[in-house]
Amino acid sequence: ESSKTGGNTISMRGLGSAYTLILIDGKRQNVAQGFDANGFNGVHSSFMPPPEMIERIEVIRGPASVIYGSDAMGGVINIITKKHSNRTTAGVQLETDLSQHPNTFGNQYGANAYLTTPLIENVLSLNLRGGYKYGDQNAFYKPGFGPDSPTYCNAKSCSTTNPYLGWSATGYTNWNAGGRLNWTLNEHNDFYIDTELFFTRQGTLNTSSDGYTAVREFYKINSVLNHDANYHWGKLNTYAQYTETMMFPHFDSSRLTSGWAGLQPGSSRGDGVRWDTGTYNRDAVFQSTYNNDFDFGKAGALIFNGGLYYMYENLQTTSSNKHMNQVAIFAEGEYLINRYVSATLGLRYNYSDIFNAIPNPRFYVNYNPTDWLTFKAGIATGVKVPQLSYLYDGYTVNSSTNVYVYGNKDLKPEQSVSYELSAILDTTPAFIILTGFYTDFNNKISSVSAQNDETVNGIQCTSGAGCTFYRNLDSAMVTGAEASLQTKPFYGLTLDASYGFTYSKTLKVSNANQQYLVGEPVNNIPKHKFTIKPSYTYKNFNAYLRWTGNLQTPTSAVAASSLATSARGLVGKYYRNYQLVDLAATYKFNKNYALTFAINNLFDVKFYDDLISYNSGRGTSYMNPYQRILPARNYWISFKADW
């Protein structure tokens, strides 16, 4: 799903994007939750490799905390990039995305490239990569306003003169540049050092009750030193990684002189950057993993994976500087009993200098009655430690809304136990996966909104703009089913289809002020989600039609005092359903050149025309009956060249 600033978020197994761990070549990419606050979620998804660099993408659905630790409670996305070769290869991609409604959804333009070349044959090679992308603003106007409306504001609050709705994103600029030096010491040892710098400038045209525009710059430096050893006694992967992500706001000179925040409405950048008010997230990771296959003859075989993990995390803002150390030891083995049955047992033991030690076991059984049928059943646990930005006493004041945000140093790590049963059919006509799962979710961290004079966690809210509190819910459940189908080519025709059903419910809440949450969904994940994609390939030509839908996406439950200004009160129990159709075709002129043309949102479904107005207490505000504003019809053109 797209965020309002152009990034993307990935959700799996009925849990939000914060529970999905993003890796590149097995190395962590997630930044601290709470780093990209105030609607800038999804920023780190801008920091992905150029498409030409990606060899494959591995997906683990469901808890993977045994091997990958915190943030992997929902699943893992591992992007594997192309390795060095003994010959020079290169690739370039040029792309543009033109909107049917450019005054509302901005056009986008981009380019990326990579180069891999040997420096010393079979010993030393160099990989260089980079990309650039630019996008115009997404301007969603309040009723009665339009492109010709004046935007100049000479006051602290611009809420009455800012013509844009809060979902409007400024134009953005992204670029990245990186390199990797690969060294083969001998037939048993390979090393590489990889460094990459990422930059993005993006913002929102109306970010707060004061109605100003906010623009921020994000910088990310990611460096990895990696060693792979391959001996008769096993394989050993050891790496050290350091990542620093920085965020700085832009300023408007005249507003700053007057003591006012933000930029003039409609700005795409400010007069300068406030380097003194940055937010920093620093991660240092060390991991060493041992892998080996043991053959016991008639007694079966064992595939073993185990190792040590350490992570230092630091989150620094203008008002706080917090850090946490995590250490873990983990081991997992798949015992191949015979050609029909195998069993997997794993355990991770986590220790943090803030929280108590947490064990994470996992147990699975695979049964293969035939070559084309596999049954899989198991239990897996997951864990997610609270974000550092929540763990403090007292409160901070959100500069955009004047809401008091209270920390809670007594928060506990979120934990889950998932039960899964699946069947995998690999037949001549099709590949089919059917999965059912049930997850017990304990200590789910929830944010609670309170009005002035309300009491939560034993603390009375004393802000006229309201307060936000964080606490652990006692227990919740998430259950669902997934089905996917991928047919084998039949006269050039293939069909990819998937369906997901998700149902969640809060089971118990001990806080008397939050009893309205009992029986309500845990999050805003659609109950029904489907994709149907027929494709056709003939020689150098390929085309596909993709039909997707999100149905019965629940709105968030709120207290009775907040119902009149909430999506639950204004929209109902569910956000409005939607379905989209995309059409695309690719022609390869030869093995080196390819041209792609796609029409996204073919029927031009609009997500911003039917707004609901209400009195927020600070004037007229608007609620969208859709959960997200997705782009209207747009035309994507891409030209790729590989040598």
pLDDT digits (tens, 9 = 90+) for 236-252: 999 999 999 899 999 99
pLDDT on residue 540: 94
pLDDT on residue 7: 52
Q: The dihedral of CA 362, 367, 368, 373: what is its sign?
A: negative
558 and 570 in contact (C-beta within 8 Å)? no
Count other C-beta atoms under 10 Å from residue 572's C-beta.
12
Please tell me which residue, 1 or 494, carries the higher pLDDT value: 494
pLDDT on residue 4: 42
pLDDT on residue 3: 46
pLDDT on residue 34: 54
In which band, very low, low, confident or very high, does the pLDDT at 221 lie, cut at 50, 70 and 90? very high
Across the chain, how many H-helices and E-strands are there? 3, 35
Chain centre distance of CA 177: 21
Please tell me which residue, 503 or 615, carries the higher pLDDT value: 503
**High-pLDDT (> 90) share of the chain, %:** 49
DSSP 257: H
d(CA 97, CA 51): 16
Q: Which helix (H) or strand (E) holds 203?
A: strand 189-204
Average pLDDT over residues 539-545: 96
Residue 347's φ and ψ, nearest 5 degrees, are -150, 135
DSSP 608: S
Determine the straight-line distance between the first and last CA of the chain, rounded to whole angstroms.
33
In which band, very low, low, confident or very high, does the pLDDT at 74 lie, cut at 50, 70 and 90? confident
In which band, very low, low, confident or very high, does the pLDDT at 610 lie, cut at 50, 70 and 90? confident
* Residue type, position 338, single letter: N
Residue 81 has pLDDT above 90, yes or no: no
pLDDT on residue 458: 75
Q: What is the tens place of the pLDDT at every residue in 26-53?
A: 887 766 555 555 444 555 555 567 777 7
pLDDT on residue 318: 77
**Beta bridge mates, 325:** 312
Residue 444's φ and ψ, nearest 5 degrees, are -60, 125
pLDDT on residue 292: 96
* Closest to 190 measured CA to CA, from 227, 239, 231, 235: 227
* Closest to 204 measured CA to CA, from 399, 3, 468: 3
| Residue whose tokens read 């009195």 | 615
533 and 566 in contact (C-beta within 8 Å)? no
- Grouping H, G, I as helix, E, B as strand and the rest as coil, residue 298 is helix
Helical segments of 335-405, H only: none
Q: Kind of pairing, strands 75-81 and 20-24?
A: parallel
93 and 104 in contact (C-beta within 8 Å)? no
d(CA 560, CA 122): 69
Tokens of 586: 């690719």
DSSP 138: B
590: buried, middle or exposed (CB in 10 Å: 19+, 13-18, 0-12)? exposed
Q: Which of 31-35, 174-178, 344-348, 602-606 has the lowest mean pLDDT?
A: 31-35
In which band, very low, low, confident or very high, does the pLDDT at 538 lie, cut at 50, 70 and 90? very high
pLDDT on residue 402: 58
Secondary structure of 610-642 in HEC code, one letter for each residue: CCEEEECCCCEEEECCCCCCCCCCEEEEEEEEE
d(CA 494, CA 483): 17
Overall residue count recorded for the chain in this entry: 643
Average pLDDT over residues 294-303: 93
Residue 596 has pLDDT above 90, yes or no: yes
Count other C-beta atoms under 10 Å from residue 347's C-beta.
16
pLDDT on residue 557: 87
In which band, very low, low, confident or very high, does the pLDDT at 372 lie, cut at 50, 70 and 90? very high
Sorted by where each starts, the structural domains of the chain and their CATH numbers stand as 392-582+600-627 (2.40.170.20)
Q: Which residue spans within 211-337 are E strands per DSSP?
A: 214-231, 234-251, 272-273, 279-295, 301-316, 321-336
Of the segments 135-149, 306-320, 478-492, 555-569, which one has the largest average pLDDT value? 478-492
Q: What is the tens place of the pLDDT at every residue in 146-162?
A: 888 888 888 888 888 88
**High-pLDDT (> 70) share of the chain, %:** 91
Q: What is the mean pLDDT of the chain?
A: 87
Average pLDDT over residues 572-596: 95
Q: What is the tens place of the pLDDT at every residue in 377-422?
A: 999 988 888 877 788 777 766 655 557 788 888 888 888 899 999 9
In which band, very low, low, confident or very high, does the pLDDT at 5 lie, cut at 50, 70 and 90? very low
**Nearest 5 degrees, angle CA 52-CA 57-CA 63?**
155
Residue 475 has pLDDT above 80, yes or no: yes
Q: Which of 60-74, 345-359, 536-550 has the lowest mean pLDDT?
A: 60-74
Average pLDDT over residues 549-563: 89
Please tell me which residue, 175 or 393, carries the higher pLDDT value: 175
118 and 88 in contact (C-beta within 8 Å)? yes
